[in-house]
């Protein structure tokens, strides 16, 4: 069955092989050894190779040929990548000339710039100076001070080092002093795309209210720089974050709009191909204005292949087209594979392809209105089947009211796209019409934001602190695949396999619970402006955190099935407890006990944990004292949370 799927869809095999080997290489390069991703991918690859070799007599040409092509492309891609093995250089202030290669993100009161130096090494720059808008190809000459890239543990919500590594960025810097900016007047497509995106966003800003213009620009063109954190969280917590990620949903809407317009253009049968060409050009222009992100390019390439297939009257397998699109993108830029937006986009489209047609049979709708409601409902439910496991894995939360939120926001986003595009078209020709459509956009977005306010007041609005690991994610997807095969093909052995995998999934939690039951450890959390710790003995915790519980604390407690928390409420209790830890050779230094640091000279600790409240000169002094005593020093601010087994 699996072999039959692979033989029908060659791009599926290529994407799987290429993706897994890329994940393995990246994991080994990041961790310097075989980490979780590399262990799992190597294991799955071994199973695939064993399975293929067993059936090699019947399928040898296609399978072995696919493996050879995938391996060749992997080698070519990674060997020609100019940023592959370059690491952060040490140094203080240096005069550097860097070329802006991606984007300039302006976010008050600072700017973020992704640039490359003369060695074509990618650098992430932060500047607190007010800069003019920079585009791809502009040259920036400044005094750059290297800053450390922050690492993190699995319990920290954001791992900067891993994120930058997947983009092949190995250096961070702070712009201490700006010397010169040289504007490039070239016509590089990326530069023109950035300028077109800025122009479109300015038109939207001109004809809509200030509180809605940034949100509309994000929905239409993927420009999320001006959207507030609360608004972004509202979309994530209601399961409508895909509305802000310009992807297949938006391209599909544009495709429907353009196809509807071209329906009224009479053309002889000979020239029907002109409509296909104009449709393809329209969606590529839209992708150009949106800046050409991973999810939008995936959608546009897929719709292009689909339109070509329709015009040539060839049967187009949707899954093969999706895999071909993803494969092309990953080959051109392996970093795309690690883009969460790309993963969610592919999962969403695949979920719609697999499940929507089956849901439609339940209630197809008896008239146009009910049919439209039914379509929205089934798209909303089917898209979540593959999205929810990824959401739980990356964001550790479940949007309880995703169905009503999507039923409201999907039609709203379609209407916003129509009105927004009309603003762009009429802004320079008939401003009065643009003003009318701007008013309509304000009303529609007011309706959408009021929906969030209503949902937020409902009980169990969001379930957070959910923890699933990589093994459970793979088991979940495998179970969904066999469950789909059992219903779509009436293949009942697949149902048994799916149920067995569900049992394994449940058993994995029992194993985790059992392992946590035998563990005694302490975790020092990396928080923004304070230090906190949990000492865990089995499923009970003695905690130095008494106020609101941050996300990474919830994650740790959920992952280890903590059911009882004892809080050290007063500062004296915390001091005494930290002294007990110091007697075990674990010293946490913060602003409160920094003055008494000299007393630990006589009994040097084995591990010194530097708190986030310490100033740079204090950290420097502590490192000077304890480095000579061979103590391990861990900085919570730059290295993330620390877990120690006791």
Is residue 87, in this structure, part of any structural domain at all?
A: no
pLDDT, residue 600, reads 60
Which of 144, 160, 186 is the last residue in one of the domains? 186
Is residue 615, in this structure, part of any structural domain at all?
A: yes
Is residue 86, in this structure, part of any structural domain at all?
A: no
pLDDT, residue 502, reads 92
| Percent over 90 (pLDDT), the chain | 3
Lowest mean pLDDT among 95-99, 548-552, 588-592: 95-99
Residues 609, 501, single domain; the answer is no
pLDDT, residue 380, reads 78
Please give the mean pLDDT across all residues of the chain: 77
Is residue 563, in this structure, part of any structural domain at all?
A: yes
pLDDT in tens, 354-404: 888 777 777 766 666 677 777 777 777 888 888 889 888 888 888 888 888
Structural domain span for residue 10:
2-80
Is residue 85, in this structure, part of any structural domain at all?
A: no
Q: Which has the higher per-residue pLDDT, 1 or 422?
A: 422
Q: How far apart are CA 340 and CA 55, in angstroms?
A: 35
pLDDT, residue 299, reads 79
Q: How many domains does the chain have?
A: 5
Give 499's pLDDT tier (boundaries 50, 70, 90): very high
Placement of tokens 């391990």 in the chain: 632
Residues 298, 239, single domain; the answer is yes
Which of 144, 161, 186 is the last residue in one of the domains? 186
> Which helix (H) or strand (E) is 173 found in, with range?
strand 171-182
Examine the pLDDT at 302 and tell me if it is beyond 90.
Answer: no
Residues 441, 349, single domain; the answer is yes
Residues 250, 351, single domain; the answer is yes
Residues 367, 386, single domain; the answer is yes
Examine the pLDDT at 86 and tell me if it is beyond 50.
Answer: no
Give 91's pLDDT tier (boundaries 50, 70, 90): very low
Lowest mean pLDDT among 63-77, 230-244, 607-621: 63-77
Residues 426, 350, single domain; the answer is yes
- Average pLDDT over every residue of 115-141: 79
Q: Which has the higher per-residue pLDDT, 567 or 31?
A: 567
Q: Which of 595, 585, 597 is nearest to 625 (CA)?
A: 597
> What one-character-per-residue DSSP string does 66-122 give?
HHHHHHHHHHHHHHH-TTTT--PPP-SEEEEEEEEEEEEEEETTEEEEEEE-TT--E
Residues 129, 217, single domain; the answer is no
Is residue 143, in this structure, part of any structural domain at all?
A: yes
Which of 49, 80, 111 is the last residue in one of the domains? 80
Residues 283, 380, single domain; the answer is yes
Q: How far apart are CA 646 and CA 635, in angstroms?
A: 20
pTM: 0.78
pLDDT in tens, 152-209: 777 887 778 777 877 778 788 888 777 778 787 777 788 888 888 888 888 888 888 8
Lowest mean pLDDT among 118-127, 463-472, 490-499: 118-127
Is residue 236, in this structure, part of any structural domain at all?
A: yes
Residues 164, 295, single domain; the answer is no
Residue 486's Cβ-side half-sphere holds a number of Cα atoms within 13 Å equal to: 14
Contacts of 610 (CB under 8 A, 6+ apart): 589, 619, 622, 633, 634, 635, 636, 637
Examine the pLDDT at 311 and tell me if it is beyond 80.
Answer: no
Q: Which has the higher per-residue pLDDT, 31 or 617?
A: 617
Residues 41, 179, single domain; the answer is no
Residues 209, 273, single domain; the answer is yes
Residues 536, 510, single domain; the answer is no
pLDDT in tens, 635-646: 888 888 888 887
Q: Which of 180, 82, 192 is nearest to 137 (CA)?
A: 192
């Amino acid at each position: 069955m699996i072999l039959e799927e692979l033989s029908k869809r060659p791009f599926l095999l290529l994407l799987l092989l290429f993706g897994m080997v890329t994940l393995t290489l990246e994991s080994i390069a990041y961790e310097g050894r075989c980490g979780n991703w590399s262990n799992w991918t190597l294991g799955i690859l071994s199973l695939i190779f064993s399975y293929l070799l067993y059936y090699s007599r019947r399928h040898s040409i296609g399978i072995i040929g696919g493996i050879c092509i995938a391996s060749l492309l992997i080698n070519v891609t990674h060997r020609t990548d100019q940023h592959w093995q370059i690491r952060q250089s040490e140094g203080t202030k240096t005069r550097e000339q860097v070329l802006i290669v991606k984007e300039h993100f302006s976010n008050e009161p600072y700017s973020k710039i992704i640039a490359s130096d003369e060695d074509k090494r990618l650098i992430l720059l932060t500047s607190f100076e007010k800069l003019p808008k920079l585009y791809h190809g502009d040259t920036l000459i400044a005094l750059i001070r290297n800053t450390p890239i922050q690492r993190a543990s699995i319990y920290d919500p954001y791992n900067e080092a891993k994120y930058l590594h997947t983009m092949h960025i190995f250096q961070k810097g702070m712009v201490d002093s700006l010397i010169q900016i040289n504007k490039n007047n070239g016509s590089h497509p990326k530069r023109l795309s950035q300028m077109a995106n800025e122009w479109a966003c300015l038109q939207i800003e001109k004809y809509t209210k200030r509180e809605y213009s940034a949100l509309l620009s994000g929905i239409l063109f993927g420009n999320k720089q001006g959207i507030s954190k609360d608004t972004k969280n509202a979309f994530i917590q209601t399961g409508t974050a895909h509305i802000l990620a310009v992807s297949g949903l938006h391209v599909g809407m544009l495709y429907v709009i353009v196809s509807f317009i071209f329906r009224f253009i009479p053309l002889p049968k000979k020239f029907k191909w002109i409509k296909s060409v104009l449709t393809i050009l329209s969606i590529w222009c839209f992708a150009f204005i949106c800046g050409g992100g991973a999810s939008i390019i995936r959608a546009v390439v897929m719709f292009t292949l689909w339109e070509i297939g329709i015009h040539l009257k060839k049967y187009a397998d949707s899954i093969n087209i999706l895999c071909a699109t993803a494969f092309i993108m990953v080959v051109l830029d392996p970093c795309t594979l690690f883009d969460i937006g790309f993963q969610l986009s592919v999962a969403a489209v695949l979920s719609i392809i697999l499940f929507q047609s089956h849901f439609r049979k339940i209630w197809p709708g008896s008239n146009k209105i009910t049919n439209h409601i039914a379509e929205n409902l089934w798209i909303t439910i089917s898209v979540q089947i593959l999205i929810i496991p990824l959401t739980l894995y990356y964001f550790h939360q479940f949007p309880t009211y995703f169905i009503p939120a999507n039923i409201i926001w999907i039609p709203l986003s379609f209407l916003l796209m129509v009105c927004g595009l009309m603003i762009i078209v009429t802004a320079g020709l008939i401003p009065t019409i643009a003003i009318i459509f701007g008013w309509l956009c304000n009303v529609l977005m007011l309706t959408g934001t009021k929906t969030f306010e209503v949902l937020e007041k409902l009980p169990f609005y969001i379930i957070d602190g959910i923890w699933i690991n990589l093994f459970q994610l793979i088991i979940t997807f495998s179970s969904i695949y066999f469950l789909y095969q059992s219903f779509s093909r009436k293949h009942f052995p697949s149902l048994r396999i799916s149920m067995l995998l569900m049992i394994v999934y449940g058993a994995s939690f029992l194993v985790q619970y059992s392992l946590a039951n035998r563990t005694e450890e302490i975790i020092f959390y990396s928080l923004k402006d304070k230090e906190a710790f949990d000492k865990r003995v089995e499923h009970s915790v003695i905690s130095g955190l008494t106020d609101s519980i941050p996300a990474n604390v919830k994650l740790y407690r959920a992952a280890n099935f903590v059911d009882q928390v004892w809080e050290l409420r007063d500062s004296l209790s915390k001091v005494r407890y930290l002294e007990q830890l110091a007697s075990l050779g674990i010293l946490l230094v913060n602003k409160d006990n920094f003055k008494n640091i000299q007393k630990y000279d006589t009994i040097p600790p084995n591990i010194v944990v530097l708190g986030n409240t310490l100033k740079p000169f204090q950290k420097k002094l502590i490192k000077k004292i304890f480095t000579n005593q061979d103590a391990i020093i861990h900085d919570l601010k730059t290295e993330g949370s620390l877990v120690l087994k006791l």
